[in-house]
Chain A
């Protein structure tokens, strides 16, 4: 499955901005089942400075600064991505969640150091969160880890209402838990914090959904914008992505852009400006399937 993706972020300011710095994580990652074959960024106005590096989670980061007065700034990323079907282990054949959690208590095996950095609190998901109570019903005794994650995914989908008006980017998780409403970011955070509350590693994945569903299939929530989902670690297999917003494991409809501990590690475009007064941001994402 191939996709051509356009991701447009536009800032409009009520007064002039003196200088702006942005960090963007927009380049789709190469994974075992995904190749990013083309990628380009374009800007209006052109930044005075553009540098790139790979962060410690393996995401490509583009940093750019506009150092002349401007009231408008737009960044467009275009990518061409090829996806292969994701092989999922049979959830019922995965090890019991308790034994997975035990692997991440000292002494942690050396080959699990990479997932081990995703077990603990992260900038937006601190340890104090009372999520164990929420998570517990999914983690019955001896349940295979992926079956428990799938149940968690199902419960979030069933108990929570997708409501873009209910939360903002900075709504804390306990408020989401109280209101039972939120968006993909909140649901991904909820799933991740729940897994971690049980002592399991969990990652945050940002990416895209295909915009137009295949004929006869319903449109998925979260298309036309950046999407986010969660990833659970299965020993002997690796990371398995699941999407609590749409209650599914990810496959040919989900394009992975960046991976981190939580949203703060992977924000698609993060910026700081001097001046500018009030500002509005608009984001448009278009994900077109190409060929067959």
Chain B
């Protein structure tokens, strides 16, 4: 075993690499042998080389509301997280089941609302979701798919069981980091990736393109696809550009698009060109000033009418936020039962709803033991880590909860699994999660792996990049290299 790991302590947590007895898990064997051949300074040199590449290539994200400046490098830890085939197959099946149910739910909620009239889920909870858009009921969306790109956050508890922490069905970000992380690994450990049967992720660009092309209005054979970004000040602008480049499609801002005859056109140097599919990374509220916020200059006036008429497709669709409301999240197991008549393969984290008066008083009485989250926030904003918070922070949060209980949920603090992370000249355990990307087009596909996020601060359980998190490459390791599934459909 490498000297790098001599002093490594899994402690009382579930460690991804080492079992309780300190023995390495078998799927990490080959990787550890390879890293083990390095001494700390060699390892450190590779880490630094990768850091320098990230800086040079501008692999960044933006932190809002920080005087320290906005654009940051996304910290990357070189040691990959490895998921063995049997574990991945279960995760994949669970994610496919979940997104299928979520899309059926959205189609239902925006049409007949059968799940409510059949009393499988409570009406008040769903209809009060602030991202529910009743004005969108009855609109037909292409193939009835609402969420085309989903980033579902998974965690493992102290026993190593996988749980779904939240669904991100609006504009999930991070796929670009997943791709860049793999590129970095190829440079840092070229031989290792060649030698191990690791499922590739670099087909993501073509998978995304196929998913989007599937949405194009029926008669269009070679659809024009664009990525619509709010612009350079958005936290994920790097990603917008990166994915456009991966797909080989233009990136546009609202002002680059105009509507004529209920169709969307892009201004180009050769005149107007019709656009058929828009991968929009702009929130619903800002998409069309004629329908939503009138003060928005980011969107395209008239685009919703073009969508309504079926002349253009939007991914993701409008109003998907009702499904990733953190209180509606608690209903996903009921959705899976109702639409698919199955039990969830991946369980939810037990969730207490502020809207229920009994559970609300439980939350208020146990603030020091719970994680409290605002139902529509993401990126680690609007949450309280009860056990780590000060008395005053808890009291302030209690006031917020009392004022608007529907806006909060609480969950027990999970002891997230840990993974060795290189700190200075040795490895220490840090908590991690996993965000796999799920694509819904002609079929549902899950990118093997995803983005493993790391809480870099010692002891921290918050992995969000905006809260000091970093990331790792994620390897889905196949047992038999000849048996690896093809990632893309054969070229049309």
Give the residues in chain B near A274, CB-CB below 8 Å.
258
Taking the nearest CB of chain B, how far is it from the CB of A211, in angstroms?
Answer: 29
Among A51, A56, A104, point to the contact of B137 (Cβ < 8 A): A56
Please give the number of chain B residues whose Cβ is less than 8 angstroms from any Cβ of chain A in the complex. 38
Taking the nearest CB of chain A, how far is it from the CB of B302, in angstroms?
Answer: 4
Give the residues in chain A near B458, CB-CB below 8 Å.
none
Give the residues in chain B near A121, CB-CB below 8 Å.
130
B268 within 8 A of A: no
Give the residues in chain A near B356, CB-CB below 8 Å.
106
Establish whether residues B123 and A56, one from each chain, have CB atoms under 8 Å apart when the complex forms.
no
B426 within 8 A of A: no
Establish whether residues B404 and A128, one from each chain, have CB atoms under 8 Å apart when the complex forms.
yes
Establish whether residues B136 and A56, one from each chain, have CB atoms under 8 Å apart when the complex forms.
yes
Establish whether residues A49 and B135, one from each chain, have CB atoms under 8 Å apart when the complex forms.
no
With A19-B258, A65-B259 given, is the CB distance from A265 to B135 under 8 Å? yes
Establish whether residues B116 and A110, one from each chain, have CB atoms under 8 Å apart when the complex forms.
yes
Give the residues in chain A near B261, CB-CB below 8 Å.
48-49, 65, 67
Taking the nearest CB of chain A, how far is it from the CB of B275, in angstroms?
Answer: 16
Give the residues in chain B near A56, CB-CB below 8 Å.
134-138
Give the residues in chain B near A123, CB-CB below 8 Å.
292-293
The CA of A270 and the CA of B305, in the complex, are separated in Å by 14
Establish whether residues A107 and B135, one from each chain, have CB atoms under 8 Å apart when the complex forms.
no
Establish whether residues A65 and B124, one from each chain, have CB atoms under 8 Å apart when the complex forms.
no
In chain B, positions 44-92 with a C-beta closer than 8 Å to chain A are none
The 8 A CB mask of A103-120 against B (1 = contact, 0 = none) is: 011111010110011011
The CA of A93 and the CA of B305, in the complex, are separated in Å by 45
Give the residues in chain B near A53, CB-CB below 8 Å.
308
B283 within 8 A of A: no
The 8 A CB mask of A90-105 against B (1 = contact, 0 = none) is: 0000000000000011
With A21-B302, A113-B116 given, is the CB distance from A106 to B122 under 8 Å? yes
Establish whether residues A21 and B135, one from each chain, have CB atoms under 8 Å apart when the complex forms.
no
A223 within 8 A of B: no
The CA of A21 and the CA of B125, in the complex, are separated in Å by 36
Give the residues in chain A near B138, CB-CB below 8 Å.
56
Establish whether residues A108 and B123, one from each chain, have CB atoms under 8 Å apart when the complex forms.
yes
Establish whether residues A57 and B135, one from each chain, have CB atoms under 8 Å apart when the complex forms.
yes
Establish whether residues A106 and B124, one from each chain, have CB atoms under 8 Å apart when the complex forms.
yes
Establish whether residues A23 and B124, one from each chain, have CB atoms under 8 Å apart when the complex forms.
no
In chain B, positions 107-132 with a C-beta closer than 8 Å to chain A are 113, 116-117, 119, 122-125, 127-128, 130
The CA of A123 and the CA of B116, in the complex, are separated in Å by 23
Give the residues in chain B near A112, CB-CB below 8 Å.
123
A272 within 8 A of B: yes
B301 within 8 A of A: yes
Give the residues in chain A near B258, CB-CB below 8 Å.
19, 274
A55 within 8 A of B: yes
Establish whether residues B134 and A261, one from each chain, have CB atoms under 8 Å apart when the complex forms.
yes
Establish whether residues A116 and B124, one from each chain, have CB atoms under 8 Å apart when the complex forms.
yes
B25 within 8 A of A: no
Among A49, A65, A110, A272, point to the contact of B117 (Cβ < 8 A): A110
Chain B contact residues: over half helix, strand or loop, or mixed? Answer: loop
Give the residues in chain B near A272, CB-CB below 8 Å.
289-290, 301-302
A179 within 8 A of B: no
Establish whether residues A107 and B301, one from each chain, have CB atoms under 8 Å apart when the complex forms.
no
The 8 A CB mask of A3-39 against B (1 = contact, 0 = none) is: 0000000000000000101010000000000000000
Establish whether residues B289 and A67, one from each chain, have CB atoms under 8 Å apart when the complex forms.
no
A127 within 8 A of B: yes
Among A51, A53, A117, A261, the most chain B Cβ lie within 10 Å of the Cβ of A117
Give the residues in chain B near A176, CB-CB below 8 Å.
none
The CA of A65 and the CA of B134, in the complex, are separated in Å by 25
Closest to A169 in B: B294
Among B134, B259, B260, B291, point to the contact of A117 (Cβ < 8 A): B134
Closest to A19 in B: B258
Establish whether residues B117 and A113, one from each chain, have CB atoms under 8 Å apart when the complex forms.
yes
Taking the nearest CB of chain B, how far is it from the CB of A265, in angstroms?
Answer: 6
Among B124, B293, B404, point to the contact of A108 (Cβ < 8 A): B124
Establish whether residues B119 and A120, one from each chain, have CB atoms under 8 Å apart when the complex forms.
no
Establish whether residues A107 and B302, one from each chain, have CB atoms under 8 Å apart when the complex forms.
no
Closest to A122 in B: B134
Among B117, B130, B305, point to the contact of A51 (Cβ < 8 A): B305
Closest to A270 in B: B290
Give the residues in chain A near B305, CB-CB below 8 Å.
21, 23, 51, 63
Taking the nearest CB of chain A, how far is it from the CB of B348, in angstroms?
Answer: 19
The CA of A119 and the CA of B135, in the complex, are separated in Å by 15
Among A23, A63, A67, A265, point to the contact of B260 (Cβ < 8 A): A67
Taking the nearest CB of chain A, how far is it from the CB of B297, in angstroms?
Answer: 11
With A19-B258, A51-B305, A113-B116 given, is the CB distance from A105 to B290 under 8 Å? no
The CA of A253 and the CA of B293, in the complex, are separated in Å by 33
Among B122, B128, B308, point to the contact of A120 (Cβ < 8 A): B128
B262 within 8 A of A: yes
Establish whether residues A107 and B309, one from each chain, have CB atoms under 8 Å apart when the complex forms.
no
The CA of A67 and the CA of B301, in the complex, are separated in Å by 13
Closest to A110 in B: B117
The CA of A76 and the CA of B165, in the complex, are separated in Å by 54
Give the residues in chain A near B123, CB-CB below 8 Å.
106-108, 110, 112-113, 116
Taking the nearest CB of chain B, how far is it from the CB of A53, in angstroms?
Answer: 7
Closest to B305 in A: A63
With A51-B305, A127-B404 given, is the CB distance from A110 to B290 under 8 Å? no
Closest to B289 in A: A272
Establish whether residues A65 and B302, one from each chain, have CB atoms under 8 Å apart when the complex forms.
yes
Closest to A23 in B: B290
Taking the nearest CB of chain B, how far is it from the CB of A188, in angstroms?
Answer: 18
In chain A, positions 58-99 with a C-beta closer than 8 Å to chain B are 63, 65, 67
The CA of A120 and the CA of B355, in the complex, are separated in Å by 13
Taking the nearest CB of chain B, how far is it from the CB of A111, in angstroms?
Answer: 9
Give the residues in chain B near A21, CB-CB below 8 Å.
259, 290, 301-302, 305
Give the residues in chain B near A117, CB-CB below 8 Å.
127, 134
The CA of A116 and the CA of B123, in the complex, are separated in Å by 8
Among B259, B301, B404, the most chain A Cβ lie within 10 Å of the Cβ of B301
For this complex, 26 residue pairs linking A to B, each with C-beta atoms less than 8 Å apart, are A19-B259, A19-B260, A23-B305, A49-B261, A49-B262, A51-B262, A57-B134, A106-B355, A108-B122, A108-B123, A108-B124, A110-B116, A110-B119, A113-B113, A113-B127, A116-B127, A119-B124, A120-B128, A123-B293, A127-B130, A128-B403, A128-B404, A271-B290, A272-B289, A272-B290, A272-B302
Other A-B contacts than A49-B262, A51-B262, 4 sampled, CB-CB below 8 A, are A23-B291, A105-B124, A110-B119, A272-B302
Residues of B within 8 A of A (CB): 113, 116-117, 119, 122-125, 127-128, 130, 134-138, 258-262, 289-294, 301-302, 305, 308-309, 355-356, 403-404, 406-407
Pairs A-B, 4 closest by C-beta atoms:
A272-B301, A106-B122, A108-B123, A56-B137
